[in-house]
Structure 1
Amino acid sequence: MTLDVSLEPAAPLLARLAGLRERTAALVEHRSAGDPTATDPLRGLYLSEEAVRYLLSPAPAPAELPSLDEDFPDRLAELGARLRLTHLDTAILLIALAPDLDRTFEPLYGYLNDDVGRRRATTGLALDLYGVPAHLAVARARFHPTAPLTALGLLTVEEPERPFLSRSLRVPDRVLSHLIGDDTPSANLTATLREASADGWPHGGSPTDSPPADGSAPDRMPADGPAHGGLSHADPPHGGLSYEDAGADGDFVRRLAGRIAAGPLFAYLRERQEGEGQGCAALALRLAGVGAWRCSVTGEELVPELLREARLSGRALVVEAGGDPAPLVRALGTAAGDVTVLVTAARPYDPQWCDHRDPLVLEVPSRRATALDAWTAALPAGPGFDLAATVAPYHLGGDRLARAARAAQDLAAFDGTPLAAAHVRLAARQQSASGLEQHARRIRPAVDWRDLVLPERPLTELRELASRARHRDRVLGDWRLSAGGGRGRGVLGLFAGESGTGKTLSAEVVAAELGLDLYVVQLSSVVDKYVGETEKNLERIFSEADRTDAVLLFDEADAVFGKRSEVKDAHDRYANLESAYLLQRLEAFNGIALLTTNLRANIDEAFTRRLDLVIDFPFPDEEQRLALWRHGLAHVPSTGDTELRPLARDFELAGGSIRSAVVTAAYLAAARAEPVTAADLLEGARREYRKAGRLVPGAW
């Protein structure tokens, strides 16, 4: 099969090269006319007497060469217009890339360079072929490191140790690939760069609505209104909410889109929740009609390649700054004057990061108000469960919400069942995985309210705690009942009661009710003997918990949240400093934290005042103990003569001890390969009394 070259994207560029070949041939003919070494196969490798006399003779008059300024409808012309390159710049690019597309240029360039081994264009050869004197300052300046060709990463001037006119020119492979129609990013960026998408926003468009494959950007929306056939802020793309319906979110996106449409913008978007800035930027770019690349970067090493990719494709960059944003922001601020770059990060912007040009610093509004609409748009219409109650505990941002929605549908398909709340919760938890496991033990809740045997009052308060966690954004945010002063929207609860009364189990049930994971803080990873280290460890935990949808449990919280004491020595002073830090950090906390203690009086009153709920777990009475025995034996095979009332009456055990007694009885029965008997349960209860150092009741 014969390939029709005329249909190739490189065809116009090859036609342009034909004109360059004609010009090169004319220059070769002019040079060789009076050159006595023109036919010498070793020309350029040595100097004969004739060659020396020829070089010392007056230079021949410049030749009349065919023009290189003819306009061609190719990517080189488009790139030159987009980056505002001069005709000389585009000609230099063409001359430099010619040997990479047509091997016949190599020997011609070798002859014109007076060195058969130098088969690439040089600065002097480029000026000769264009027809400008080599001593012209404005022409030589086109090769300067700050000139557009080199500063934008389109051309590399090699061999700086050589005289200026004999320095080789090279066009990077990625630039050449773009000019012949290949839009694949360079290998260094394939793992980092991806299409920016507004998925996860209620009016973000479909995943398939991406910028044109040829790298061109869609029509932009002018600053004073939408482009012809574009979108207005009152007409949501792809049928979502209108931007007015989105409230502050929509107004922010609309204003950002107008600023992007007005020209290149360098902005720093500070996000409160991970992913909010990415989604907001993607939506604004889509509304402005500007294609974009999205990437996650932790340093400035890839900045030149990222900016070059954006320039070649005519797209903007949405950069998620990881780690310390300072080097990245500084590098982008120095080099990104002609490209729209939106940097998203959680850290506040510091003016010290940039030497001259500060970005436009914006606070991204929380999109919690529209999160339900985003879930509704991402999931099939009409789910058979209460979607609002299911997704209320989650604060996924950016494409993580869309990924969670897709994962939930995949889980439902795997189970062969309709989409259920459990699928959504599991998928959302997977997207909320965090670094908390470095400091806390992760528990995947496998219990529910049926596993709690408690009086009515603590049960009611536990349900209220779950309700507060679910509706805190509406009450504290939409209804503006936050106390202000930088206070967060966290939910804080204290569980107080004797050991074994169900405090930790209740925390697990609350987490299960909310569809979240429970992280039990390991005090050994928090408390440190060195001054200030405990606070640092706690800050890491709180910061990670702020950005993670999870329930944080401080078991045996007395060790960290104990009462402050009178300062008598340095130890008291530093202990009080830890408490003061915790008081401040709890007020700014945005997550869900639960504290347990065996003795409520040990907790500082200042902590108690900042808690939303203090739930007392009483020691179970006889009826509750009977219910606990029955619950513990619900799945255990036992003989029909097992009477539990005497055990509940005679042995005053808490729920944790009753469970241990049942476990002991089960092991005794399993060793005999028989069901659990009343004697086994009696032995288990007696062992719990002995462990506690209590007098064992007599046989009955």
Structure 2
Amino acid sequence: MGRRRATVSLALELCGVPAHLAAVRARFHASAPLRALGLLEVEESERPFLSRSLRIPDRLAGHLLGDDTPDAALLGRLHPLPDPLPAGGDADADTFVRHLAARLHDGPLTVYLREQREGDGLAALASVLRTAGLGALCCSGTEDDLPGVPELLREARLGGRAVVVSALPERPGPLVRALTAATDVTVLLTDPRPYDPHWSPADPLVLDAPGRRAGGAAAWRAALGPDADGFDLATAVAPYRLGGDRIQRAAHAARALAAFDGGPVTADHVRLAARRQSASGLESHARRIRPAVDWRDLVLPEAPLTQLRELALRARHRDRVLGDWRLSAGGGRGRGVLGLFAGESGTGKTLSAEVVAADLGLDLYVVQLSSIVDKYVGETEKNLERIFTEADRTDAVLLFDEADAVFGKRSEVKDSHDRYANMESAYLLQRLESFDGIALLTTNLRANIDEAFTRRLDLVVDFPFPDAGQRLALWRHGLSHVPSAEGIDPGPLARDFELAGGSIRSAVVTAAYLAAGRGDHVTAGDLLEGARREYRKAGRLVPGEGGW
């Protein structure tokens, strides 16, 4: 009468079984089903066996009484599955979904799904579960978000649902072992890493997640609905490879941006929303530029302009050409787009990269050489691998400015320094083969780029030094937003001063500061002084020092 809870002895008496039988006592062992499945807890282990207290978990008692509120230990740790992949958008993805859903109908199954891009695995599993008519408990496997495995499995058993875990912890072995041991529950795991047999003695079914086609126009149309009718949706979203629920979130953000502007959803709204959903860790290694230019800001001959437009075209349609039309070279090669911009300083190479990124609706990341080059052997390659891996999963344009510092020619091995330098080049050659993103290289010295890199490039764009006509167009473009004196004519400057586009811009900036200091408009004298300063900076003789 003094005990507040039932004991082992009372339970055995109620069941009418003798307490001295080993098989009976084994029912209360930690590995026995009652305890292993979380149906019964035996407390007060310091007491003699028969006097230990028994407790029914609150979640189980609630379930028996008709209350299916999830276990309190799972609150805040479960999240909904993303929207499924749209049916009919990709034949390979549809086949994958049908086959795996049919396999789930046969009984509980443990599956490890390796995803190439973040969200693809969860989106595929959402489609599989919908097709199979099976509910799921979805959680993240990171250390902070992971719920208790026993509580998670018990909840799945009570509701007849599957367990879905994404983003496994850094050391996934204990988690995978605990989940694969539950042979009566369907467990679906997804992560970017390849499956390691050392994680668990019971291997799951290991599959590759079907990749979402770049842009996923069908998924975007499903997410935007009638809002997608006012513009060319397929062209607008072609550069983006968002997975999981990112497209739904981007569609919601695009509607919010359109509502703020007081108009219908446009391609610009969709691009901006998609760009914000493509989170990136590149900023620790590269400088982010949000392009604010377009094709009108380029003053170039027709040949390089045509090549730049072709570069943007390749970036949009690479999945169709290399994937659907099977024109990839094979051998594990990626679907990246690689271009080299070669020309003298100031001829518009970096500006062109920004224009291409703007045309694609992507951010531009300029790689900082100081953050990747390391004096210790092997560290430079590790830093480059981090950059390429992050760029593969990010919708962005990667720019290696002054690329000859990293992609230089290999040399004859005369000492250990040459050998290690050649190892860096060999690593880069291999990594470019499997790259899936968009990378642009700029150099003032094309002859210094190794020919093996050049062979792997899609396009090599030569930027010529501007002639007098192009210099005049550059002067006029620079003055287009500057308050200038009436009748100002930059023609003589374009004829007499052989300056590249970058130097002309610097000269206009100098003239603008001189005019702003006087509180006046830019005059011909201001422009002449700006041009002369650019000549002096370059150490060149200034024409017309006696007057203009």
Amino acid paired to 2:193: R
Q: Which runs of 5 or more residues in structure 2 are unaligned?
A: none
User: How much has 1:322 moved relative to structure 2?
Assistant: 3.5
Structure 1 counterpart SS, 2:485: coil
Are residue 624 (structure 1) and residue 509 (structure 2) matched? Answer: no
374-383 vs 543-552, greater mean Cα deviation: 374-383
1:192 aligns with 2:38: no
Bigger drift between 628-637 and 482-491 goes to 628-637
1:281 alignment partner, one of 125, 131, 136: 125
In 2: Cα distance, 1:329 partner to 1:482 partner: 38
CA positional deviation for 1:482: 0.2
Secondary structure (helix, strand or coil) at the match of 2:489 reads coil
Q: Which residue of 2 aligns with 1:202?
A: 86
Structure 1 position 563, deviation (Å):
0.5
Matched, 1:336 2:221: no
Cα distance change on mapping 1:383 and 1:325 into 2, 3 Å: farther
Deviation per CA, 1:645-686, whole angstroms, max 9, x where unpaired?
011111111111111111111111111111111111111111
User: Is 2:7–2:54's contact at 8 Å kept on the other side of the alignment?
Assistant: yes
Contact 2:177 2:199 in 1 (8 A): no
Alignment of 1:242-257 (within 5 A): 246-257=90-101
Q: Choose from 8, 11, 15 the match for 1:130.
A: 15
Amino acid at match of 1:129: L
The CA deviation string for residues 608-653 of structure 1, in whole angstroms up to 9 with x for no partner, is 0000000011111111111111111111111113210011111111
Q: Percent identity?
A: 74
Deviates more, 1:379-388 or 1:459-468: 379-388
**How big is each residue's C-alpha offset from its partner over 1:102-149, in whole Å with a ceiling of 9 and x where there is no partner?**
xxxxxxxxx1xxxx2x41222222222333322233332222111222
For the Cα contact (< 8 Å) 1:267–1:359, is it kept in 2?
Answer: yes
**Cα distance, 1:463–1:291 mapped onto 2, change above 3 Å:** same
Q: Aligned-pair RMSD on alpha carbons? A: 1.8
**C-alpha distance after superposition, 1:127-179 (max 9, x if no partner):** 22333322233332222111222212233222222211122223334444444
Checking the alignment, whether the CA contact within 8 Å between 2:312 and 2:356 is kept in structure 1 is: yes
C-alpha change, 1:566 and 1:444, in structure 2 (3 Å) is same
Matches of 1:323 and 1:158 in 2, distance apart?
31
After superposition, the Cα gap between the structure-2 partners of 1:261 and 1:667, relative to the gap in structure 1 and judged at 3 Å, is same
Does residue 1:561 correspond to 2:407, yes or no?
A: yes
| Letter matched to residue 319 of structure 2 | D
SS of 2:521 mapped into structure 1 = coil
1:650 partner letter = D
Give, in whole Å, the separation in 2 of the partners of 1:619 and 1:144: 83
Question: Would you say 1:159 and 2:3 are equivalent positions?
Answer: no
What does 1:517-528 correspond to in 2, within 5 Å? 517-528=363-374
Matched-pair contact (CA < 8 Å) for 2:138–2:165: yes
- What CA distance in whole angstroms lies between the structure 1 residues aligned with 2:66 and 2:363? 49
Alignment of structure 1 residues 604-619 onto 2, 5 Å:
604-619=450-465
Q: Higher relative CO (CA 8 A, sep ≥ 6), structure 1 or 2?
A: 2
Cα distance in 1 between the residues matched to 2:155 and 2:281:
32
Give secondary structure in 2 for the equivalent of 1:196. Answer: coil
Structure 1 pair 369–621 and aligned structure 2 pair: CA distance change class (3 A): closer
| 1:195-344 mapped onto 2 (5 Å cutoff) | 195-199=80-84, 201-203=85-87, 241=88, 246-299=90-143, 302-324=148-170, 326-327=172-173, 330-344=176-190
2:251 to 405, 420, 427: 405
Paired AA for residue 204 in structure 2: P
Does the CA contact (< 8 Å) of 1:269 and 1:364 recur in 2? yes
Aligned AA (1:415):
D
Q: Distance in 1 between matches of 2:215 and 2:279?
A: 23
Q: Check whether the contact 2:239–2:395 (CA below 8 A) recurs between aligned residues.
A: yes
Deviates more, 1:268-277 or 1:537-546: 268-277
- Report which stretch shifted further, 583-592 or 273-282: 273-282
Answer whether contact 2:79 2:138 (CA < 8 A) is retained: yes
Give distance in 2, aligned partners of 1:183 and 1:430. 38
| Among 219, 223, 242, the residue aligned to 1:374 | 219
| AA partner of residue 91 (structure 2) | G
TM-score by length of 2: 0.95
**473-482 vs 379-388, which moves further:** 379-388
CA distance in 1, matches of 2:162, 2:267: 38
CA distance in 2, matches of 1:171, 1:530: 59
| Distance across 2 between alignment mates of 1:180 and 1:197 | 32
Q: What residue number does 1:145 align with?
A: 30
| Residue 189 to residue 657, structure 1, CA distance change in 2 (3 Å) | farther
Alpha-carbon distance in structure 1 between the residues aligned to 2:214 and 2:441: 29
- C-alpha distance in 1, partners of 2:311/2:197? 42
CA deviation vs aligned residue, 1:445-493 (integer Å, no higher than 9, x gap): 1111011111101000000000000000000000000000010000000
Tell me by how many angstroms 1:594 deviates. 0.4
Structure 2 distance, partners of 1:177, 1:686, is: 85
Q: CA deviation at 1:378?
A: 1.2
- Residues 477 and 438 of structure 1, relative CA distance in 2, 3 Å threshold: same
Number of the residue aligned with 1:488: 334
Are the aligned partners of 2:515 and 2:521 in contact in 1 as well (CA < 8 Å)? yes
2:539 is equivalent to residue 693 of structure 1: yes
Whether the 8 Å CA contact 1:202–1:375 is kept in 2: the answer is: no
Match of residue 528, structure 2, among 679, 682, 685: 682
1:57-136 to 2 correspondences below 5 Å: 111=1, 116=2, 118-136=3-21
Question: CA separation of 1:607/1:159 partners in 2, compared to 1, >3 Å: closer, same or farther?
Answer: same
1:262-315 C-alpha deviation (Å, 9 max, x unpaired): 111100011112111111111111111101122111257733332223223221
- Higher mean alpha-carbon deviation, 573-582 vs 429-438, is at 429-438
1:538-565 CA-to-partner distances (Å, cap 9, x unmatched) read 0000001111111001111111100001
Residue of structure 2 equivalent to 1:425: 271
Structure 2 letter corresponding to 1:166: S
Provide Cα deviations, 1:325-353, integer angstroms capped at 9, x if missing partner. 63255334443211111101111112122
Shift of 1:537: 0.3
Change in CA separation of 1:526 and 1:136 when aligned onto 2, cut-off 3 Å: same
Task: State the distance in 2 between where 1:283 and 1:328 align.
Answer: 28
SS at match of 2:195: coil
| In 2: Cα distance, 1:370 partner to 1:511 partner | 16
Query: Partners in 1 of 2:62 and 2:257 — Cα distance?
Result: 41
1:273 aligns to what SS in structure 2? coil
Task: Please give the alpha-carbon distance, in whole angstroms, between the structure 2 residues aligned to 1:511 and 1:560.
Answer: 22
One-letter amino acid of the counterpart of residue 242, structure 2? L
Aligned partner letter, 2:132: A
Asked if structure 2 preserves the Cα contact closer than 8 Å seen for 1:520 and 1:554, the reply is yes
Q: Distance in 2 between matches of 1:164 and 1:349?
A: 43
In the alignment, structure 1 segments of 5+ residues that lack a partner are 1-110, 204-240
Tell whether the 8 Å contact from 1:411 to 1:423 is kept in structure 2 after alignment: yes
1:202, distance to aligned residue in structure 2 (A):
1.2
Name the count of aligned residue pairs. Answer: 543
Q: Which moved more, 1:487-496 or 1:343-352?
A: 343-352
Write the distance in 1 (CA, Å) between the matches of 2:421 and 2:67: 63
Which residue number in structure 2 is paired with residue 545 of structure 1?
391
- The counterpart of 1:639, out of the listed 481, 485, 492, is 485
> Which aligned pairs between 1:461-476 and structure 2 lie closer than 5 A?
461-476=307-322
Q: Secondary structure at the match of 1:505?
A: helix
Secondary structure, in 3 states, of the residue corresponding to 2:406? helix
